[in-house]
Amino acid sequence: MSEDEPTPSGPRPPERPTSREDAPFRLDPDRAALAARRARPPTVSPAIDTRRYRWAIGAFGLGLVVVISVVLFLTRGVATVGVPPGHRLHNFAAPVATSDLVGSANFGKPCKLGYLGDRALNTCLLTRRGPLVLAFFATGSSACVREVDAVQKVSREFARTGVGFAAVAVRGSRSQTAKLVRTRDWTMPVAYDLDGAVAAAYGVEICPLLELAYRGGVVKYRLIGDRWLRPPALAAKVRALLQR
């Protein structure tokens, strides 16, 4: 019996790979992260359903309108801005700013105050003579002052037609109103409404505001807004007033 090579004791060393395919795969962290992001499903934010909030928004808006309406009704009743067409002007006599007449507007019996003459703006007497263009303005508003400028310009065009033109400074003082009359060269009667009585009677809250009334005092047009600062637009309404 021949002698064999001695058999080594202990565990056998691992065999080395014989080819590239047998080599262990070394993970690339950047490529792995990119692959993970591609494989991960996109995150979609849940859609917000606003339908359940719409009724609340609508209810709030409706409630706000109701509250405002109730407040206006309690404080002003059913009054509107100005005198609407088809209704008669509220007659009054108010002191002309450039006269020596001092005081508040008179709503009692203005038709019997003819003795005041040109010192008072008297709507009753003015509408007895012919149609009337009556402007309301605030002395502190440039837009409202330009309204009276437009009325003044149109009044020259209709000087021989019998149409009366006048203006009232709502809640204006005598001195403020008189100063405007002189500096703006207004020749029509311009009264001042010191205590706001005329403004309250006519519901004047905005300007420009003009009332165009037939002879006798029934309103044909109630004109509100900046459109009537343009003399041609106002003149067209005055011509229509004369066509009755």
* DSSP output for 96-146: BTTSS--S--B-S-GGG-GGGGGGEEEHHHHHHHS-EEEEEE-TT-HHHHH
pLDDT at 207: 85
Query: Is residue 156 in a domain?
Result: yes
Query: Is residue 99 in a domain?
Result: yes
Query: Is residue 170 in a domain?
Result: yes
pLDDT band at residue 40 using 50, 70 and 90 as cut-offs: low
**189-212 tens-digit pLDDT:** 999 999 999 999 999 988 889 999
pLDDT at 184: 98
- Res 134 pLDDT > 50: yes
Q: Are 167 and 190 in contact (CB under 8 A)?
A: yes
Query: Is residue 146 in a domain?
Result: yes
Higher pLDDT, 4 or 165: 165
pLDDT at 233: 97
* Number of domains comprising the chain: 1
pLDDT at 205: 86
- Res 39 pLDDT > 80: no
**143-199 tens-digit pLDDT:** 999 999 999 999 999 999 999 999 999 999 999 999 999 999 999 999 999 999 999
Query: Is residue 15 in a domain?
Result: no
Query: Is residue 49 in a domain?
Result: no
Provide the residue range defining the domain that includes 236. 93-241
- Res 111 pLDDT > 50: yes
pLDDT at 57: 57
Residue closest to 208 by CA, chosen among 166, 140, 139, 146: 146
Query: Is residue 204 in a domain?
Result: yes
**48-86 tens-digit pLDDT:** 555 555 555 555 554 543 344 333 333 443 346 899 999
Query: Is residue 233 in a domain?
Result: yes
SS3 194: coil
Please give the average per-residue pLDDT across 204-229, as a whole number.
94
Residue closest to 153 by CA, chosen among 135, 127, 130, 174: 135
The secondary structure of 53-106 as a DSSP string is HHHHHHHHHHHHHHHHHHHHHHHHTT--SSPPTTSB----EEEBTTSS--S--B
* Residue 114's CATH number: 3.40.30.10
